[in-house]
Structure 1
Amino acid sequence: MILTITMNPSVDVSYPLESLQINDVNRVDSVNKTAGGKGLNVTRVISQMDEAVKATGIIGGTIGDYILKNLEIEGIQHDFLKIEKESRNCIAILHEGKQTEILESGPMLDESEGTSFQGKLVHLLENVSLVTISGSLPKGLPHDYYASLLSLCKKKNVKALLDTSGRYLKETLSSMDKPFLIKPNETELSELMGKPLTTTEELKEALNHKMFDGLEWIVVSLGAKGAFAKNGNAFYKVTIPKIEVVNPVGSGDATIAGFAIALHQGQSAESILKTGMATGMLNTMETKTGSVNKNNFQKFYDSVTVQKVD
């Protein structure tokens, strides 16, 4: 079974409007509410691909109850640390071809709550083969908190995939216990290296940097251009076809879900890359964020080209 960790889940609320009227009343005819947060998008895609998955993290209040009810309706197993503090809403206003977001920061956690989740994770790791950790941390937890979770995974010999950015990623890369896989995009990698990266040689040089020592997989998302990856000492260029995108939000999460499935199944390096790219593309074809149609998987899988780079 795959375990997904979402430390700061949310209810994602989508308001579609023909136009957004500033300093006036805006009425919506339809509202879409889903259990959100990057890790729950990963969870949903893994479930829709018919792989066993369980969701965990920290959740609280009536918003947390709504998230759990939503997961139960979708038939997704979960075991969250429940707190009294309220989980968050994240609002997206879709207007005139634009998306304006209003994101709550979520609850302020204390040290005891962080410690309690670590204890829960130790128990959960007994029955899983792989873990995904996604998104930002709630306020109150130290920036190196993910490193402590990775240490627990290492002690249980469980591979961990980490999808985060900024200071959370930097803190993790400077720690002793590294994730099995990270998936920065082109911009995030450039920020880590302190310079723009545009050529294949520049990407290769960047991924050979000592900060990435101890990582088995680094997959750099290049958007519509595909990806550039390093597995061990081997480099790969991944090309995807041009597609008509319906909703790109959550495609990175769907990609992580594909990687997790393929790694869990012990697939080859080429197949791992093709599976992740395929699930990412499948997400762009759906209106609902973090959602795929498994029936179209083989078509998209076959459309991905993986080339080993010398």
Structure 2
Amino acid sequence: MILTITMNPSVDVAYPLERLVLDKVNRVPNARKTAGGKGLNVTRVLAEVGDQVLASGCLGGRLGDYIEDNLPENVESAFFRIAGETRNCVAILHDDGQQTEILEAGPTLSEQEAQDFLRHFEQLLDKTAVVVLSGSLPAGLPTDYYVRLVNLAQQAGRPVVLDCSGASLEAVLRSEHKPTVIKPNNDELSDLLGFEVTKDIDQLKTVLQDDLFAGIEWIVVSLGAGGAFAKHGDKFYRVTIPKIDVVNPVGSGDSTVAGIASAIFHQESDQDLLKKANVLGMLNAQEEMTGHVNMANYDKLYQQLKVEEV
């Protein structure tokens, strides 16, 4: 079973509008609400792939109840209840592809809740084989909180796929407790290293050998329409993807993470891991709903991907 952790989930609300008019009433005929947050996007995609998933993280209040009630039927829930109210995140889709987002900060966890969740997490490791940690940390948690979760997973012998950014990612990279996989993009690499990281293969090879990434088994770098570049141990791979019609790219990174976790769970080869991850990312981009894939199109895309060692 794969354990997904979403520390700061949300109810994602999408308001599609032909035109957003400021300082006026805007009526939305077809609002969409989904259980959101990066880890929950991963959860949905894993469920659609057919893997067994245990979803956890922190939920509070009526919005927390809504998220738990709207998980896929084949997902087991093991969320930790907190005193604060889970947040809303609103995306207004308007005016020929523009997207305006209004993101609530979410609840603030107490020091006691932070400690209690660590114990809750440790107990969940007994029934899972792979751990996915995704997204931002809620207020009240220290920057190095993911370090503590990675440490507990390592002690239990569980591989960890970590998908976060900024200070929380840097804290993990500078610690002695390393996840199995990270999935940065060029911007995140640039922020970490303090200079612009391009899509140039030779530069990426050099960058991923920086001491900051020492001890990370897998580094998968998303290159958007350019596919992906990856380092596994001392091997480097370039992934070339076909051109597709993109409907909504939001959540494609989370879908890629789902593919990585699934491949690790099933002990698939390097090439199969990279193909599965990138196919799921593309399938999400072809759908209107975030964190959703149409598996009927999986095999056709899978055959069009090219993975080569470079």
What's the TM-score, normalizing by structure 1? 0.98
Per-residue displacement from partner, 1:98-157 (whole Å, max 9, x unpaired)? 110000010011111111111011110001110000000000100000000000000000
What is the distance in 2 between the residues matched to 1:279 and 1:270? Answer: 14
Q: Is 1:276 aligned to residue 277 of structure 2?
A: yes
Alpha-carbon distance in structure 2 between the residues aligned to 1:284 and 1:111: 38
Aligned 8 A contact 2:82 2:109 in 1: no
Partners in 1 of 2:295 and 2:116 — Cα distance? 36
Query: Structure 2 unaligned runs (5+)?
Result: none
Q: What is the aligned partner in structure 1 of residue 225 from structure 2?
A: 224
What amino acid is the match of 1:236?
Y
Distance (whole Å) between structure 1 residues aligned to residue 219 and residue 189 of structure 2: 10
Partner of 2:27: 27
Secondary structure (helix, strand or coil) at the match of 1:99 reads strand
Unaligned runs of 5+ in 1: none
Structural RMSD (CA): 0.8
Amino acid at match of 1:92: A
Structure 1 residue 171, shift from structure 2 partner: 0.7
Q: Which moved more, 1:18-27 or 1:216-225?
A: 18-27
* 2:79 matches 1:80: yes
The letter of the residue matching 2:86 is S
Query: Does the CA contact (< 8 Å) of 2:52 and 2:74 recur in 1?
Result: no
1:84 Cα deviation from its structure 2 partner: 2.3
Q: Which residue of 1 aligns with 2:88?
A: 89
2:230/2:237 contact within 8 Å kept: yes
Give the partner amino acid of 1:200: I
Aligned-partner SS, 2:70:
helix
2:190/2:196 contact within 8 Å kept:
yes
SS at match of 1:4: strand
Q: Which amino acid is the alignment partner of residue 12 of structure 1?
A: D
Q: Secondary structure at the match of 2:245?
A: coil
**Alignment correspondent of 1:178:** 178
User: 2:116 is matched with which residue?
Assistant: 116
Q: Give, in whole Å, the separation in 2 of the partners of 1:221 and 1:18.
A: 31
- 1:223 CA displacement: 0.4
Letter of the structure 2 residue corresponding to residue 243 of structure 1? I
CA distance in 2, matches of 1:303, 1:266: 22
1:202 alignment partner in structure 2: 203
Aligned residues: 308
SS at the partner of 1:63? helix
> TM-score with structure 2 length normalisation?
0.98
Shift of 1:74: 3.7
Letter paired with 2:131: V
Mapped partners of 1:279, 1:300: distance in 2: 9
CA positional deviation for 1:193: 1.5
CA separation in 2, counterparts of 1:168 and 1:302?
Answer: 36
- 1:244 aligned residue: 245
**In structure 2, C-alpha distance between the alignment counterparts of 1:240 and 1:166, rounded to whole Å:** 28
> What is the one-letter code of the residue matched to 2:224?
G
Q: 1:75 deviation in Å?
A: 3.4
CA distance in 2 between partners of 1:27 and 1:208 (Å): 52
Aligned-residue sequence identity (percent) comes to 53
Find the counterpart in structure 1 of residue 38 from structure 2.
38
Partner of 1:61: 61
Residues 227 and 239 in structure 2, CA contact (< 8 A), matched pair in contact too: yes
CA distance in 1, matches of 2:239, 2:149: 30
CA-to-aligned-CA distance 1:57-104 (integer Å, 9 cap, x gap): 010000000000001x54321101011210000000111121100000
Q: Which amino acid aligns with 2:178?
A: K
* Divergent runs of 4+, >2 A: none
In structure 1, C-alpha distance between the alignment counterparts of 2:146 and 2:309, rounded to whole Å: 32
Counterparts of 1:93-112 in structure 2, within 5 Å, are: 93-96=92-95, 97-112=97-112
Cα distance in structure 1, aligned partners of 2:226 and 2:285: 15
Q: Distance in 2 between matches of 1:49 and 1:295?
A: 11
